[in-house]
Every structure is written in C-alpha cells, then in structure tokens.
C-alpha cells in the first residue's frame, strides 16, 4: 500500500487525530513507537508485540548496519521478513547513534567518519549511504541523515548544523530520486529532520527550507537531549507550527508518560522513546499513581498487581511480590514481564489521548493525567 497521512480530527490545542497508512498497515496517530534497536524490542517476542497491538516500531540503522549488516538483511528479504514482523517499521538514519556511540567521529560536508563501537573498524556515513542502508533494510519510513548537536550549543554551532542538515536533506532527496528503490518495500518513504537547537528562528528557517524540498513527513530532531521539558515543548511547538498541516510530524526520542500529552498538544503525531523498555529492565515500573522500583523491600510480600487499574496481561496475573523476587534473583522473566507492562502503559496513554481528541476533551484529560501522575511522585 502506498504511504499516506490523513487527519481525522483536530483539537483547539493543535493536537491532531490521524491515520498513517504504510505498506505494513495503518497506524492510528498520535502514536508511540517502541524502540527495537537491533531488530528486536528487548525482552519482547514479536508475538507479544502483536498482542500489545504495536502498529509501528523503531529500528536503529547504525546497529543493524554494523551487525548483522544491511546487505545480509537485504538478502534475507528485508528487515520485516528477517525479524518476522508484519507491522510497520521506522528506521532512523544512523546519525544519532554515530554521534552518541561511535568513537573518533569526524564530521565534514561529505558525511560522518567514525569507528564502530563494536570492533573499531572505520566507516563513512554519508546522506547517500544512509538512504542505501535503509533501502536494504526496507523499512516503511526512513530518515534522512542530519547533524545532531549537543545541548547546550551555541547559536553558531546550531546554525551550522542546521545548514548542513539542509544540504544533506537535499542530497538525500536527489539520491532517493535517482537510486533504485527498496526491493523489500518499494513504497518506502523518507522523512526530513528539522534541526536548529533551541533557537526558534533557526528552527523556523530550517523547517521552511526543508518544507520547500517537499518531504512526505517531517521529524523534529535535537530535542530531549537534556534541556528542560518546558523548553522542549516550546521548540517542538514552534517547529511543528512551521510544518505543513497535512504531513506527519515525528518528535524523536520522547518522552516521559506525563509529557506525551504535552507533545501531542504541540501538534506531534509520532514519538519514540527507550524509557518504557530500558526502565523495565532496571525494575522501574510506571503506574497510574506514579512510578515504582520493584526491587524495593516494600514489595517483597505485596500480593497486589503492579497497577490495580492496568489491564495488561502482567497485572491480571502476577503480583508485585513475584516480580520483586524475579528482579532480585536476576531472572530473565522479570525483564520480560516488566517490559510488557511498561509498554502497555505507554501504549494505553496514547490510546486514551486519541480517545480524548476524538471526544473533544483533551484539555480536561491532560490536566487529570498530570495531576494523577504527579500525585504519585515523591
């Protein structure tokens, strides 16, 4: 199926209820994407993801490029077939991981030269290479290479990264139009990424220039890198307002449960974050009354579920006492059950947000959710 984005309803706040039609299914938006770094959402089987009705997950190009290699995945029929996943897949460009994980990075107009964090081998990631690798993977939605910067960054640094991001987007566009399409997913599309740090005018300018290149969707990058939440919202909102109404907007790498609705109200349609999965493996569990650390002594003989108001498979069956035991004994099942619950929790918030937009009461929902989650915090 060809890629398409449709808006079903909008909210006065700027929130949008929509539908993302991809070659591997329709995704109701706003949507939260679990992170499946190396072609697996850690501790989850694909069957379990289906049970959670995950419509779209994120896979990291950098990791798959280094191991097992995009050429192998191409020969195996693309990432969907390789990992036996019939739902949607979004891949990043590899840029963010190169900037955060790889050694000896050297950024030039050509691309980013880096050493693998696995074996020290040297690689060059260019805008063209990022397209080639993602086409081999055959994701439904790919990202063009951008230059990520640290926070805080000077205005000069943010401006030069935004300029390079624009030049790379233009080269990516050219590569998309001239190189052969993905064999596994010929309808694959690529989103551009807006940069510009925390400078509103740079964001507006970068957005306008990227929009002129006409991409089927736009991501907002370079946020959730350590700046205060209010500032992320301000910049995300300002940037989203410069993007075309009818194109999907993806805010990369956010957020905490109580923040998701804020981003939706900025006009964001898609988000991804490692928090539910990574925290689950550390025994940090989200509940409607605020988070809890399952390893704590208070749960040793607590027969209640993680969250009495959660409808997930874990909360219907297992006690805090059992999960506390699994965590303390370092049992694999602990990570599996904790991850299942945390993902359900995030997906359920998004479900509730979509419902609130549909019924026109997002504003009330937002303040109630905020009050409930904050009440549970110490």
Pair 235, 267: CB distance under 8 Å: no
Active-site pick, 140, 262, 272, 307: 272
Q: Is 146 a catalytic residue?
A: no
58 Cα distance to chain centroid: 6
Nearer to Zn ion, 33 or 337 (CB): 337
Nearer to Zn ion, 261 or 312 (CB): 312
Q: Tell me the C-alpha distance between 5 and 16, whole Å.
A: 12
Binding residues for Zn ion, rule CB under 5 A, total 5
230 Cα distance to chain centroid: 20
Nearer to Zn ion, 194 or 310 (CB): 310
Active-site pick, 92, 146, 262, 307: 92
Least distance in angstroms from the C-beta of 267 to Zn ion = 30
Q: For residue 63, give the nearest of 111, 90, 107, 98 by alpha carbon.
A: 98
Least distance in angstroms from the C-beta of 86 to Zn ion = 25
Nearer to Zn ion, 34 or 196 (CB): 34
Q: What is the dihedral of CA 101, 107, 110, 116, to 10 degrees?
A: -30
Least distance in angstroms from the C-beta of 51 to Zn ion = 13
User: What element of type H or E holds 323?
Assistant: helix 320-328
Sign (positive or negative) of CA dihedral 123, 207, 274, 270: negative
Q: Is 52 in the site for Zn ion (CB under 5 A)?
A: no
Q: Tell me the C-alpha distance between 368 and 362, whole Å.
A: 10
Nearer to Zn ion, 317 or 364 (CB): 317
Least distance in angstroms from the C-beta of 172 to Zn ion = 41
| Window of 6-14, 229-237, 282-290, 302-310 that interacts with Zn ion by CB under 5 A | 302-310
Beta-bridged to residue 29, according to DSSP, are 18
Q: Is 92 a catalytic residue?
A: yes
Q: Is 341 in the site for Zn ion (CB under 5 A)?
A: yes
Question: What are the strands of the beta sheet with 189-194, ordered from one edge?
Answer: 31-33, 270-272, 248-251, 217-220, 189-194, 141-143, 88-91, 56-59
Q: For residue 315, give the nearest of 283, 280, 340, 351 by alpha carbon.
A: 340
Taking residues 280 to 299 in sequence order and writing x for each that binds Zn ion by CB under 5 A, - otherwise, the string is --------------------
Taking residues 305 to 324 in sequence order and writing x for each that binds Zn ion by CB under 5 A, - otherwise, the string is -----x-x-xx---------
Q: Is 326 left (phi over 0), alpha (psi -120 to 50) or beta?
A: alpha
Taking residues 68 to 107 in sequence order and writing x for each that binds Zn ion by CB under 5 A, - otherwise, the string is ----------------------------------------
Instruction: Kindly report the backbone phi and psi dihedral angles of residue 277, in degrees, each rounded to the nearest multiple of 5, phi listed first.
Output: -80, -45
Least distance in angstroms from the C-beta of 317 to Zn ion = 10
Nearer to Zn ion, 15 or 310 (CB): 310
Which residues are part of the catalytic machinery? Answer: 92, 272
Residues that bind Zn ion (CB under 5 A): 310, 312, 314-315, 341
């Amino acid at each position: 199926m060809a890629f398409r984005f449709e808006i079903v309803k909008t909210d006065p706040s700027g929130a949008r209820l929509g539908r993302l039609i991809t070659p591997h299914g329709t995704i109701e938006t706003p949507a939260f994407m679990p992170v499946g770094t190396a072609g697996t959402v850690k501790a989850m089987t694909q069957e379990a993801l289906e049970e959670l009705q995950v419509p779209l997950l994120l896979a990291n190009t950098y990791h798959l490029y280094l191991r097992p290699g995009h050429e192998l995945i191409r020969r195996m029929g693309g990432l969907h077939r390789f990992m036996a996943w019939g739902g949607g897949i979004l891949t990043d460009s590899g840029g963010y991981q190169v900037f955060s994980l790889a050694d000896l990075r050297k950024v030039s107009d050509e691309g980013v030269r880096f050493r693998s964090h696995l074996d020290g081998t040297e690689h060059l990631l260019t805008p063209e290479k990022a397209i080639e690798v993602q086409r081999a993977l055959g994701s439904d939605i790919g990202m063009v290479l951008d230059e990520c910067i640290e926070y805080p960054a000077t205005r000069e640094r943010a401006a030069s990264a935004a300029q390079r991001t624009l030049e790379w987007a233009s080269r990516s566009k050219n590569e998309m139009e001239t190189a052969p399409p993905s064999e596994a997913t010929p309808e694959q599309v690529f989103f551009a990424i807006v940069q510009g740090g925390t400078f509103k005018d740079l964001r507006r300018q970068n957005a306008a220039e990227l929009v002129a290149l006409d991409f089927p969707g736009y991501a907002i990058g370079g946020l959730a890198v350590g700046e205060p939440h209010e500032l992320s919202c301000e910049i995300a909102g300002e940037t989203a307002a410069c993007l075309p109404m009818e194109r999907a907007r993806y805010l990369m790498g956010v957020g905490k449960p109580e923040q998701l609705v804020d981003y939706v109200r900025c006009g964001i349609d898609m988000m991804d974050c490692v928090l539910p999965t990574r925290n689950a493996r550390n025994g940090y569990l989200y509940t409607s009354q605020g988070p809890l650390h399952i390893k704590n002594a208070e749960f040793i003989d607590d027969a209640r579920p993680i969250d009495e108001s959660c409808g997930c498979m874990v909360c219907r069956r297992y006690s805090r006492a059992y999960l506390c035991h699994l965590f303390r004994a370092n049992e694999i099942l602990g990570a599996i059950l904790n991850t299942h619950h945390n993902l359900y929790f995030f997906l359920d918030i998004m479900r509730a947000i979509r419902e609130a937009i549909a019924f026109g009461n997002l504003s009330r929902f937002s303040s109630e959710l905020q009050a409930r989650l904050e009440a549970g915090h110490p």
